[in-house]
Amino acid sequence: MIHFVGAGSGGADLITVRGARLLGEANQIIYAGSLVNPEVLQYKSEGCKVLDSASMTLEEVVAAMKEGEARNWQTVRLHTGDPSLYGAIREQMDQLDEAGIPYDVTPGVSSFCGAAAALRAEYTLPDVSQSVIITRMEGRTPVPEGEKLRKMASHGCTMVLFLSTGLLERAQEELMAGGYAPDTPAAIVYKATWPDERVFRCTVSTLAQTARENHITKTALITVGGFLGTEYDRSKLYDPAFTHGFRAGTGQ
C-alpha cells in the first residue's frame, strides 16, 4: 500500500496525527527533500528505508514504490504542504492504477495556510474579498490561456502566488496590468511555519524590489490584496443584530 501524505508547510509538528502515524508504520519513506522539513522524519520507525525524491525521476519513484509493494511494505510518499497543490501526485497515482497498486491520500497544511498564519491575516474579509485565487506566474511550466496572471488579477480578490519568487518583475507588471493599483498591499512570506520564517510586507509595485533587497529567491509565497490592509466590514455571523440558525439577533 502506498500512502501519499502531506507533510505540512514546514514546522515538523504541523503534520497531521494521521500523517505522523503513517510515518511510524512505514517500511519505506520517499520524501520531497527539496521542500519537506527533514525534522518530520523524526516520526519514522527505526530501520525504515528513506529515499529523497529531489534527485529522482517519476519512473524511479514509481520503481521504488513497486519494489516496496513486492516486499509487502507500507510506503509513505511524503509531499510538502498539501499534496493536491503543485504536488505532481496525479501522475504517480495514474501509474499506480496501471500497476494495480492501492494507495490513499492524507491531506496536509498547505503553505498558503501557513502564510496566512505567519501574516496573522484572514484571506476572506467581508466587503474586501470573498475569494482566494491560488495560481502561479508562468515560467517553464506553461499556464493555460484563460489563467494568465493578468486575467486572474482582473478580479481584484485575494491572490496567492506559488512558485513565482524568481519571476517577480514580470509578475508585478502583470498584476498591475490586470487591475491591482500599484499601492495594493502585498506580502512575501518566506518559509512559512519553518523556524526561519520571514515576512516582508510591501505593495504590488515593490514586490520585486522587496525580494531582491532581502535576497529571497525561493521557498516563498506572494500574497496580494486588500485583506492585508486596514479596511473591512464586521462579519454578519457575530453581529449582535443578525439572526441565524444558532442565535437570535436583536435586529429586525
Tell me the CA end-to-end span of the chain in Å, nearest whole number: 57
85 binds ligand SAH, rule: CB under 6 A: yes
Identity of the residue, 107 or 126, whose beta carbon is nearer to ligand SAH in the bound complex = 107
Segment lying near ligand SAH (by CB under 6 A), choices 79-87, 123-131, 206-214, 234-242: 79-87
Site for ligand SAH in 184-243 (CB under 6 A): 189, 191-194, 218-221
By the rule CB under 6 A, 27 interacts with ligand SAH? no
* Cell numbers linked to 69: 509493494
Q: Which of 28, 82, 123, 135 binds ligand SAH (CB under 6 A)?
A: 82
Pairwise CA distance, residues 250 & 3, whole Å: 50
Whole-angstrom Cα distance, residue 204 to residue 218?
A: 18
Q: Tell whether residue 35 is a contact of ligand SAH (CB under 6 A).
A: yes
Q: Minimum distance from CB of 19 to ligand SAH (Å)?
A: 13
Q: How far is the CB of 8 from ligand SAH (least distance, A)?
A: 9
The pair phi, psi for residue 55, each rounded to 5°, is: -105, 15
Q: Is 162 in the site for ligand SAH (CB under 6 A)?
A: yes
| H or E element at residue 6 | strand 2-6
Question: Should residue 110 be labelled a site residue for ligand SAH when binding is judged by CB under 6 A?
Answer: yes
Three-state SS at 5: strand
Given the complex with ligand SAH, which of 50 and 85 has the nearer CB atom?
A: 85
Angle between helix 90-99 and helix 58-70 axes, rounded to 10 deg: 40
Report CA-CA distances (Å) from 28 to 8, 81, 113, 118, 180: 19, 20, 28, 32, 47
User: Shortest gap between Cβ of 62 and ligand SAH (angstroms)?
Assistant: 19
Site residues (vs ligand SAH, CB under 6 A): 9-10, 35, 79-82, 85-87, 110-111, 114-115, 162-163, 189, 191-194, 218-221
